Structure 1
Amino acid sequence: MPYSKAHKLIIREKIVQNATNEFRQKGIKEVSVPQIMKGAGLTHGGFYAHFANKDQLVAEACRKAIEETINLLQGATNRKKDHVKLATVIDYYLSATHRDQMEISCILPTLSSEIARSSDEIRDAFTLEINRFFTFIAEMVGGNKQVSMAIVSAMVGAILLARSVNDPALSQNILDSTKQYAKDMASHFSQSS
């Protein structure tokens, strides 16, 4: 007896969620389809009943990861007044917790360099999702997408560099310096508009 459409959707979501978690921690190339399926409690052979190839799964995982990051950051700002929402996002994003807990962190610092060398399908999905993240931040700076891009780029770069160095003090300094810079940039924009 074939599985129902609802069951297939649940299984597909389980695969995407596991892939998202694995990609956050290890990147794309270090994670195989059999690893993803095993982590989801499924056999490798079942993969192709849900996805045409790994690229399709990576694209869906990018969507899922950015959605989760935006939801997490929105949750952190829900009860905040408008003028402190962006500062709250910056503080969280550039925290030691976000740097260190890769299993729940934003996928942008982990995957950006791999995405640049990936298929058009993956790059198309990534482009849509990073634009969604830019829009989320732009809503906190009066809709200014240019300022949003600069802030997001600084935050993503800071997390990437803070994770890359083996000097804990330098790592923390990268986060703290970028945090101040991003807040100054946002504040400057607020004063000039």
Structure 2
Amino acid sequence: MPYPKGHKMKVRKRIVESAAQAFRTNGIHDVSVPFIMKGAGLTHGGFYSHFDNKEQLVAEACRYAISDTIALLQEAADQEKQNPPINTVIDYYLSPYHRDKTEMGCILPALSGEISRSSEEVRQVFTHELERMMAFISNLAEIDTSKGSALLSTMVGSLVLARSVNDPELSDSLLSAGKQYAKELVMT
């Protein structure tokens, strides 16, 4: 009996979602194809009917994760009516919630260190997705892309450091300092 129309695309989407979540949490190199497939509720034998290799999946997961993050940030900005939208995004991005929910968080701080050692294909996709995220931040803040890239760099760097330390007070302080500087950057 044949699968219903769209079944293969739905399965592929589940695999990409599982990969994005796993990569956000554990990085690329520490995540195996069987682990990803298990997260999608599938056996690893079906992987190659959807992807040529893991690199192709990494690229697809980067696209998905950035789209997911942009949608999440846009939703947060749309819900807040009192603050400028960019301040709401900064507050969300540099919140303890976002710091602690790595599996649902932005992929930029999770993978930037590993991407530099990835294939040219993955680096090209990551570069495009980073540019897309910079454009989103720049447009939301109504600033030029140079300032937008500095703003995003501040946000990503603050989150990386806050996730890296084992001192909760220092981590919170890094988030707070990052928020303050990011908001000042928008105002100048």
TM-score (norm. length: structure 1): 0.93
Structure 2 length-normalised TM: 0.95
Distance in 2 of aligned mates of 1:4 and 1:53? 26
SS at match of 2:102: coil
RMSD between aligned alpha carbons? 1.4
Counterpart CA distance in 2 for 1:176 and 1:82 is 20
Partner of 1:75: 75
**Equivalent residue number for residue 167 of structure 2:** 167
Alignment check: 8 A CA contact 1:65 1:107 kept: yes
**Residue number in structure 2 paired with 1:142:** 142
Q: Give deviations 1:112-142, integer Å, cap 9, x for gaps.
A: 0000110011111111111110010111233
Of stretches 164-173 and 139-148 in structure 1, the one that deviates more from structure 2 is: 139-148
Contact 1:82 1:140 in 2 (8 A): no
**Residue aligning to 1:120:** 120
Deviations 1:17-59 (A, max 9, x none): 1111111110101100011111111111100000000000000
Q: CA deviation at 1:2?
A: 4.8
Superposed, 1:37-186 pairs within 5 Å as 37-80=37-80, 84-186=84-186
Instruction: List gaps (5 residues or longer) in structure 1.
Output: 189-193
Residues 131/170 of structure 1: CA separation in 2 closer, same or farther (3 Å cut): same
Q: d(CA) in 1 for partners of 2:149 and 2:71?
A: 19
CA–CA distance in structure 2, aligned partners of residues 83 and 38 of structure 1? 42
Q: Counterpart of 2:152 in structure 1: which amino acid?
A: V
Which amino acid is 2:22 matched to?
A: E
Q: Is the 8 A contact 1:162 1:174 kept in 2?
A: yes
**Which deviates more, 140-149 or 170-179?**
140-149
Q: Distance in 1 between matches of 2:178 and 2:79?
A: 25
SS of the equivalent of 1:139 reads helix
